[in-house]
């Protein structure tokens, strides 16, 4: 028989009440603060001002120009048409042209979508309203559509205007999904937006720009002609793009006199594959902060290097003490990664190995990812081996493994599944790619994944067994010095037996010139406020424009 004592029962009941109490409390709190939450309460809004828009209006004199946005020349060219329209609406009206009402700017976070919209407002000298899509969705029914109405009314009454809705996916998700009866608040909000845009005519000098990093989930109506019929995609910048973005953000910094901005920008661009504009802006600022912390009178190259490392790896935790045994394990684990990487042709160039505990782990082997869009099977296999190098070294040197390889194993598994399921690289499954597990294929897929990972493990084990001495050397060095750079690796193991790319010039070789903006469309050249207004005093901003 089960005997339930009363005490625990009571406390259990009380505990189950806690969420309810919290919910009631937060509702009361929200009602007192008004639906707009903390941000708006300062402006004295209460419960009944539900319709008021939360959009922030940046009045004229926005000091962002096209020259401040680098590395996305095609996008600038597209946006320029809207700028022209806002500046000379008559030119279009006279010709009877219908102006597109809006553009959807898509791209990963931090690639400059907001910046581009702001620059458009700056160039057109019109005010700029910005609002986040999620701000329309509140817990009170009807708030979203009311806010949309308000915002558009505000824009219409004060036209010309640029209206920027960031994260439009919050309201623009596909309609008619997962609801039983009635429309959701989100759908109503989206409908209201479409209705408002429908009311535009060729005399409405309002341009609506919207940003999202999830174009795949958007309702198709949004991108039909008549609404956001222009789509502008901004991808993460390539090496040339990064170099021009660096030039923009190096401008305000006081650099050491030995540094030339152009050369530095190119060098840093080569060191930062995968970085977005926001990351780059972060690197430049972080470098200046590091310089200040070291009381340096100017920012030096090493400060940039430290800033990049910090952004890739997170903060070093110098205070965290590792037990000697753990430290040895970490050293040999990282040495395993480094040695495997050194002797496999297709893995990325090694930059640095460290066993100083850092933000997200105990040690790391940092590589310079190559600028690459397509990978061969061989390359993926080499990468898997390098990722397994840590675990194999532990097994080989200590005869036992630790939990330290979890992240490596996760990546290996992901890569293997992707190769088999998405890239059609398994002979047994054939040339197929699917997103969802296929009925009846699960067993075969698992088998193939296991086969692939075992093959990679065996190859890595063979390699490290042959190079055991090297692992010892690198491991011992790490134990003693904690950090190992590429030059130290050359000293310990001799030069890497493969050619490597590392400079800007090597990376851009064969991609159409060394210059960052050779692809700059003719229409954009000289697109500069200073020149336009005949003001020769004003310096041309940036080199690209």
Catalytically annotated residues = 334
Residue 115 contact among Zn ion, ligand ADP, none, beta carbon within 5 to 8 Å by kind: ligand ADP
Residue 390 contact among Zn ion, ligand ADP, none, beta carbon within 5 to 8 Å by kind: Zn ion
Residue 408 contact among Zn ion, ligand ADP, none, beta carbon within 5 to 8 Å by kind: Zn ion
Cα-flanking dihedrals φ and ψ of residue 210, to 5°? -135, 145
The answer to whether residue 357 forms part of the interface with ligand ADP (CB under 6 A) is: no
- Chain centroid to Cα 302, Å, comes to 25
CB of 76 to ligand ADP, least distance (A): 9
CB of 75 to ligand ADP, least distance (A): 9
Report the distance separating Cα 460 and Cα 387, nearest Å.
9
Cα-flanking dihedrals φ and ψ of residue 441, to 5°? -105, -10
What Cα–Cα distance (Å) separates residue 229 from each residue in 210, 318, 531?
11, 53, 31
What Cα–Cα distance (Å) separates residue 3 from each residue in 6, 9, 11, 14, 16?
10, 11, 16, 20, 21
CB of 297 to ligand ADP, least distance (A): 25
Report the distance separating Cα 231 and Cα 237, nearest Å.
18
The answer to whether residue 437 forms part of the interface with ligand ADP (CB under 6 A) is: no
The answer to whether residue 273 forms part of the interface with ligand ADP (CB under 6 A) is: no
Binding part of the chain for ligand ADP, among 66-74, 141-149, 292-300, 376-384 by CB under 6 A, reads 66-74
CB of 383 to Zn ion, least distance (A): 13
The answer to whether residue 300 forms part of the interface with ligand ADP (CB under 6 A) is: no
The answer to whether residue 363 forms part of the interface with ligand ADP (CB under 6 A) is: no
Residue 71 contact among Zn ion, ligand ADP, none, beta carbon within 5 to 8 Å by kind: ligand ADP
Note the residues at the interface with Zn ion (CB under 5 A): 390, 408
The answer to whether residue 390 forms part of the interface with ligand ADP (CB under 6 A) is: no
173 three-state secondary structure: strand
Pairing of strands 56-58, 102-106: unpaired
The answer to whether residue 114 forms part of the interface with ligand ADP (CB under 6 A) is: yes
Binding part of the chain for ligand ADP, among 69-77, 309-317, 320-328, 355-363 by CB under 6 A, reads 69-77
Report the distance separating Cα 171 and Cα 530, nearest Å.
39
User: Which residue, judged by CB position, is nearest to ligand ADP in the bound state?
Assistant: 277
CB of 441 to Zn ion, least distance (A): 31
Give the count of alpha carbons within 13 A of 179, CB side only. 12
Q: How would DSSP label each residue in 207-275?
A: EEEEEES-GGGB-GGGGSTTSS-EEEE-----HHHHHHHHHHHHTTS-B-TT--HHHHHHHHHHH-TT-
First CA to last CA across the chain, in angstroms? 83
Q: What residues between 239 and 268 interact with ligand ADP by CB under 6 A?
A: 245, 248
CA dihedral sign, ordered 231, 236, 242, 248: positive
The answer to whether residue 521 forms part of the interface with ligand ADP (CB under 6 A) is: no
Residue 122 contact among ligand ADP, Zn ion, none, beta carbon within 5 to 8 Å by kind: none
CB contact at 8 A, 116 and 104: no
CB nearer to Zn ion: give 146 or 474. 474
Which residues make up the interface to ligand ADP (CB under 6 A)?
Answer: 69-72, 107, 109-115, 211, 245, 248, 277-278, 281
């Amino acid at each position: 028989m089960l005997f339930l004592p009363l005490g625990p029962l009571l406390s259990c009941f009380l505990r189950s009440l806690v969420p309810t109490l919290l919910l009631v409390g937060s509702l009361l709190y929200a009602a007192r603060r008004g639906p707009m939450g903390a941000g708006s309460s300062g402006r004295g809004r209460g419960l009944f001002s539900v319709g008021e828009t939360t959009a922030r209006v940046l009045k004229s004199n926005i000091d962002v120009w096209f020259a401040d946005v680098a590395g996305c020349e095609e996008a600038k060219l597209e946006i320029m048409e809207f700028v022209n329209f806002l500046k000379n609406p008559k030119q279009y009206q006279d010709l009877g042209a219908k102006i597109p009402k809006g553009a959807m700017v898509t791209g990963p976070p931090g690639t400059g979508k907001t910046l581009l919209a702001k620059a458009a407002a700056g160039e057109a000298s019109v005010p700029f309203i910005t609002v986040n899509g999620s701000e329309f969705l509140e817990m009170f029914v009807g708030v979203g559509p009311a806010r949309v109405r308000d915002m558009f009314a505000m824009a219409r009454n004060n036209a010309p205007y640029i209206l920027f809705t960031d994260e439009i996916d919050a309201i623009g998700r596909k309609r008619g999904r997962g609801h039983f009866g009635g429309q959701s608040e989100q759908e109503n909000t989206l409908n209201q937006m479409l209705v408002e845009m429908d009311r535009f005519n060729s005399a409405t000098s309002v341009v609506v720009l919207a940003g999202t990093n999830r174009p795949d989930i958007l309702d198709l109506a949004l991108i039909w002609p008549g609404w956001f019929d222009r789509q502008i995609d901004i991808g993460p910048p390539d090496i040339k793009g990064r170099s021009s973005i660096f030039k923009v953000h190096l401008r305000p910094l006081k650099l050491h006199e030995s540094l030339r901005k152009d050369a530095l920008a190119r060098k840093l661009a080569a060191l930062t594959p995968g970085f977005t504009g926001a990351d780059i802006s972060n690197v430049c600022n972080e470098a200046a902060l590091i310089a200040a912390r070291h009381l340096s009178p100017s920012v030096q190259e090493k400060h940039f290097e430290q800033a990049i490392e910090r952004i890739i790896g997170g903060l070093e935790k110098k205070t965290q003490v590792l037990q000697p045994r753990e430290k040895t394990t970490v050293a040999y684990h990282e040495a395993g990664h480094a040695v495997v990487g050194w002797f496999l042709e297709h893995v990325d160039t090694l930059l640095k190995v460290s066993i100083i505990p850092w933000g997200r782990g105990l040690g790391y082997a940092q590589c310079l990812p190559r600028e690459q869009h397509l990978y061969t099977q061989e390359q993926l296999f080499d990468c898997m081996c390098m990722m397994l190098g840590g675990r194999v070294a532990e097994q080989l040197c200590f005869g036992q493994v630790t939990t330290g390889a979890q992240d490596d194993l996760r990546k290996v598994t992901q890569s293997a599944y992707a190769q088999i399921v998405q890239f059609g690289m398994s002979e047994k499954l054939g040339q197929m790619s699917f997103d969802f597990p296929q009925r009846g294929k699960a067993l075969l897929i698992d088998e193939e994944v296991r086969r692939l990972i075992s093959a990679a493990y065996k190859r890595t084990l063979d390699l490290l067994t042959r190079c055991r001495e090297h692992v010892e050397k690198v491991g011992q060095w790490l134990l003693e010095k904690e950090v190992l750079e590429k030059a130290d690796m050359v000293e310990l193991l001799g030069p890497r037996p493969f050619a490597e790319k590392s400079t800007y010039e090597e990376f851009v070789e064969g991609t159409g010139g060394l210059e960052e903006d050779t692809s700059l469309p003719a229409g954009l050249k000289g697109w500069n406020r200073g020149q336009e207004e005949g003001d020769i005093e004003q310096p041309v901003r940036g080199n690209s424009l």
